[in-house]
Structure formats: C-alpha cells, structure tokens
C-alpha cells in the first residue's frame, strides 16, 4: 500500500481512497468502498482503467513494448527456454532446477492420453465443424470424464486438473484437426517432446510416419512460448470470471476458448493471413492502407494494433525472425511474407498508424509461419488456445488461492425504462 491516497469529491463530501503499489507499473486506486461511501459506481466499458485482480504472473508495459513472465523478458524466454520450462515458471513462480523440469515434463508427458470414450464425442460433430467449435465442446466435456479433479477447494485436485489440461490440449487439438481432415486419430508418444509429439499427432498418418523437423519443432515451441500468457486479456478474464463462481477448471478453460475464438482476440491470426491473401501482391497494399484509414469502411488492418501495446509488440519481433527461419529452412518462397513485410513498413511510416500508435501484434506473422508448417487457417486459433491453456490455468490457480477473491459481478449504468405497469395484450 502506498502512502498516497486519492480524494474524490461527491456532493460536497470528500472521500479518500487508498492507492496501491504494484512491484512495477501504474499505481491502482482501491475503490472497493466507493459504492458503500457514495452510492455511485464507476463506469468503465471494456475495463480500460480497471484492475480486476492482483497478479504476480505477467507484466506488460505497453508503451515500452515490454512483456515479462514472472520477471523474465519474453525475448529471453523465447530464445533460450522451452515451452515446458515456461509452463513450469508460470505455474510455480520460479524457473525449475534440472530435476524439477524433468519431473514436470515426465508428469505432463504421462497425462497426454485422453479417455478413449472421448473419441465418440468427436464423432458427434459434423466433419466441416470449425475446430474451435470442437475445442469448446470437447474441453467442456472433460469435466464429465475427469470428475476426480474437479474439486476446486482441494489443491491436489487443482494441480492434477492443471496438468491434465496442459498435457491433453495438444492431443485434443490434434484430434480436432484429424477429425476435420477425415484421418484417423494418432495416439501420443512419450519419447517425443511436448511440441514434437503435437506435430506428430497432427501430421502423421498410419501410411506414413512423420519425423518432425527440428527447425519446425523449435519454431512451434517458440510460438507456444509467445502465446503462453498475456495478463488480464479477454479470454483470461473470462476464465477468471467463470472460475470466480466456483465452476470446475475444465468448464472455465472451455469458456476461455470460446472467448479466444473472436476475431478481435485469438481469431486475429486467421483473419490476418486471410487479409494478406486477399491483398495478394505488394502493389495492392496502398488500396488496403487507404481502406484501413477510412472511417466509413469497417476494414481494419488485421494483426495491427493492440489494447495494451502502443509500441512494437515484443512477441511480433520474435515472430518475424521465426517466420524468416522457417520459410528458409522449409524452402518456402511465400509471396505473402513479402506482402507482410512491405505492409508493415508502409504502415509503420504512415501518419495515421504513427499517430494512433498502431504496430504489428503477435498475430501479424504467426499465420505466415503456421501455414508454411502446413496448418490450415482454421487451426490457428486452436494452436493459440493450446499454448494459452497454461496461462489460463496458472491465472485460475492464482485466483482460487487469492484471499481477496470474490465472485466477479460487475455493475451497470441502467438506461432502460423506469418502472411501469404491465398492460394485458388485449389492451395494447
Ligand atoms: N486498423 C486500422 N485502424 C485501427 C486498427 C487497425 N488494425 N486498430 C485500431 N485502429 C484505430 C481505430 O479505428 C480507432 O480509431 P479512432 O480513434 O479514430 O476511432 C483507434 O485506432 C483506436 O482503436 P480501438 O478499437 O479503440 O482500440 P482498442 O484498444 O479497443 O482495440 C484492437 C484494439 C481490438 C486489437 C484493435 O487494434 C483491432 O481491431 N486490431 C485488429 C485485430 C487484431 O489484430 N487483433 C489482435 C489483437 S492481439 C491478440 O488478441 C493476441
């Protein structure tokens, strides 16, 4: 708590509110007593000025383009760590020792299989179902298969549910892909790494073994790290809000997946690649830049802009380099990558984008990499959900353990009709 207080004058009365300090970042005014004191609420659609919780997981300085997980910069983690290690870090607060990492990896590896009956659940979906629709359904259904880890008040059950979710998500995601491709499901293999195993479950078929390329495994692992957590974004807040009622973890993560699906959030990488394909060639870029700037045109440059980053998204820097490495290694000469790089340069030098501080976000280049690896666009958001599961789970655990936690219940500014008497239909 800071020594500062914030004073508010309402109707001639003055009220003082404590100002809280974080370890870094903006201070926060504690308005919990505001309604009790003044009979007024705050109005903040989109939560642009509201801290919904206290958290020690992830810090973002959007003006400086900084993203830290438990204090470690995302660039260092993406270049030097692994997704398993970052998962441990997010869940436990510290980097693991070699033994702790081995034990954690062993535990996750041994939870990768899903209940065999879950395969029948997939068969209820149409083959042309969007894989995110399948993800929402199947992850929500996990609570019907793993009752023994749904007691949120038991720390051991919470831990098991967390491990199950992180471990099974690649299997579930690969199965969603296999189902839509009309190919048989592929069981996990425990001798492969988390990421290599996922690629194999996705791309191997009984007729032909898939040997994951180390460059692709490395790129995919980086993509997972870059998406692992991102503070109180829409889907994470959804998970916390769902969890605040005491809902089980599988239901909460399914709610997060549903939120992530939206094009303004996780769906943006799919939308960004579709946009790049629509633009097609470098000479058409000015036309699309003009459309993005036209207030009468709903078109937006997908993969550009961010609620929090008003600077280059640090994840986009790693993503651009990874895209270059993957395309080179796979020998893919994708004209879309040229369109992306040129579009970025033009936008970064355009007064409209400079003034509004619109920079490429993590989704701008990820689609180029994922499509070079062989993923269809519908799978992009699924991959995001897979990687973000650890963040959701870590945030959910943090919330459950927080003594200040309450059921999330925002208030409103009511502008509907005031009380009036019911009129029978015959008299209307
Ligand atoms: N292209 C053109 N103009 C834009 C863009 C864009 N991508 N993004 C924002 N603007 C403009 C808006 O029109 C608005 O202009 P105005 O002030 O003249 O009305 C101004 O910039 C501010 O935009 P808001 O929508 O108010 O900003 P907000 O913080 O609410 O939105 C968002 C952020 C949703 C990410 C937005 O920038 C956007 O729609 N981007 C495209 C979608 C996208 O890439 N989403 C991925 C986000 S990252 C993630 O989820 C992993």
DSSP per-residue letters across 207-251: TB-----HHHHHHHHHHHHHTS--SS-HHHHHHHHHHHTT--HHH
> Given this model, what pLDDT does residue 137 score?
95
Catalytic residues: 306, 363
Lookup: tokens for 333: 């000469």
Place 1 in a pLDDT band, splitting at 50, 70 and 90.
low
Distance 357 CA to ligand 1 centre (A): 10
Comparing 101-110, 210-219, 263-272, 312-321, which segment has the lowest mean pLDDT? Answer: 263-272
Radius of gyration of the chain (CA): 23
Give yes or no for a contact between 364 and 340, defined as CB atoms under 8 angstroms apart. yes
Comparing 22-31, 32-41, 321-330, 397-406, which segment has the lowest mean pLDDT? Answer: 321-330
Query: Is 235 a pocket residue for ligand 1 (Cβ < 6 Å)?
Result: no
Distance 304 CA to ligand 1 centre (A): 7
Give yes or no for a contact between 338 and 365, defined as CB atoms under 8 angstroms apart. no
- Calculate mean pLDDT across residues 328-349: 87
Place 177 in a pLDDT band, splitting at 50, 70 and 90.
very high
Lookup: tokens for 105: 């990896």
What φ, ψ does residue 10 adopt, rounded to 5°?
-135, 120
State what percent of residues in the chain have pLDDT above 90.
Answer: 80
Q: What is the mean pLDDT of the chain?
A: 94
Other Cβ atoms closer than 10 A to 387? 26
Beta bridge partners of residue 19, listed in sequence order: 29
The β-bridge relationship of strands 13-20 and 28-29 is antiparallel
What φ, ψ does residue 7 adopt, rounded to 5°?
-105, 140
Ligand 1: residue of 305, 316, 364, 367 to mutate (most ligand atoms within 8 A of CB) is: 305
Query: Is 356 a pocket residue for ligand 1 (Cβ < 6 Å)?
Result: yes
Distance 282 CA to ligand 1 centre (A): 23
- Calculate mean pLDDT across residues 152-167: 96
- Smallest CA-to-CA distance from 253 within 155, 395, 128, 105 is with 395
Q: Would you call 279 exposed, middle or buried from its count of C-beta atoms within 10 A (0-12, 13-18, 19+)? A: buried
The Cα–Cα gap between 320 and 332 comes to 15
The pLDDT tens digits of the residues spanning 356-394 come to 999 888 888 888 899 889 999 999 999 999 999 999 999
DSSP SS3 for 205: strand
Give yes or no for a contact between 78 and 369, defined as CB atoms under 8 angstroms apart. no
- Calculate mean pLDDT across residues 72-91: 97
Query: Is 304 a pocket residue for ligand 1 (Cβ < 6 Å)?
Result: yes
Strands (E), 32-118: 58-61, 66-69, 72-73
Give yes or no for a contact between 59 and 231, defined as CB atoms under 8 angstroms apart. yes
Most distant CA pair in the chain, distance: 79
The CA-atom distances, in angstroms, between 261 and each of 132, 137, 295 are 7, 13, 26
> Given this model, what pLDDT does residue 101 score?
98
State what percent of residues in the chain have pLDDT above 70.
Answer: 100
CA atoms within 13 A on the CB side of 173: 31
Q: H or E stretch including 397?
A: helix 380-401
> Given this model, what pLDDT does residue 149 score?
86
> Given this model, what pLDDT does residue 365 score?
86
Distance 31 CA to ligand 1 centre (A): 29
The Cα–Cα gap between 261 and 257 comes to 6
Does residue 241 register a pLDDT over 90? yes
> Given this model, what pLDDT does residue 310 score?
87
pTM, whole model, 2 decimals? Answer: 0.91
């Amino acid at each position: 708590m800071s020594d500062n207080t914030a004073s508010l004058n309402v109707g001639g009365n003055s009220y003082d509110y404590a100002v809280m300090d974080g370890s870094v970042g903006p201070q926060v005014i504690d308005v919990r007593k505001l309604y009790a004191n003044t009979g007024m609420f705050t109005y903040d659609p989109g939560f642009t000025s509201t801290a919904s919780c206290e958290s020690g997981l992830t810090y973002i300085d959007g003006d400086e383009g900084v993203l830290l997980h438990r204090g470690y910069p995302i660039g260092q983690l993406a270049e030097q760590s692994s997704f398993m290690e970052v998962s441990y870090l997010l869940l436990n607060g510290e980097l693991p020792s070699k033994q702790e990492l081995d034990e954690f990896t062993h535990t996750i590896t041994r939870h990768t299989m899903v209940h065999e009956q879950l395969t029948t659940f997939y068969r209820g979906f149409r083959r042309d179902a969007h894989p995110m629709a399948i993800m929402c359904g199947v992850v929500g259904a996990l609570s019907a298969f793993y009752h023994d880890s749904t007691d949120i008040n038991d720390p051991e059950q919470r831990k098991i549910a967390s491990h199950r979710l992180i471990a099974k998500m690649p299997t579930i995601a690969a199965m969603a892909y296999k189902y839509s491709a009309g190919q048989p499901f592929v069981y996990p293999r425990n001798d492969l790494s988390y990421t290599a195993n996922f690629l194999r479950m996705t791309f191997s078929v009984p007729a032909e073994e898939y040997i994951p390329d180390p460059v692709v495994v490395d790129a995919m692992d980086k993509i997972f790290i870059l998406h692992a957590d991102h503070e109180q974004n829409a889907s994470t807040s959804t998970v916390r809000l769902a969890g605040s009622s005491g809902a089980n973890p599988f239901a909460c993560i399914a709610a997060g997946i549903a939120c992530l699906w939206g094009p303004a959030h996780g769906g943006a990488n799919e939308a960004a690649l579709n946009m790049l394909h629509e633009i097609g060639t470098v000479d058409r870029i000015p036309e699309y830049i003009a459309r993005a700037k036209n207030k009468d045109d709903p078109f937006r440059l997908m993969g550009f802009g961010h609620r929090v980053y008003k600077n280059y998204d640090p994840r986009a820097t790693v993503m651009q380099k990874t895209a270059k490495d993957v395309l080179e290694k796979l020998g893919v000469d994708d004209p879309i990558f040229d369109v992306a790089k040129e579009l970025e340069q033009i936008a970064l030098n355009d007064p409209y984008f400079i003034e509004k501080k619109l920079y490429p976000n993590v989704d701008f280049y990820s689609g180029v990499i994922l499509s070079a690896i062989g993923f269809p666009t519908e799978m992009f958001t699924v991959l995001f959900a897979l990687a973000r599961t650890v963040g959701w789970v870590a945030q959910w655990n943090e919330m459950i353990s927080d003594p200040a936690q309450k059921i999330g219940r925002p208030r409103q500014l009511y502008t509907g009709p005031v009380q009036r008497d019911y009129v029978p239909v015959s008299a209307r």
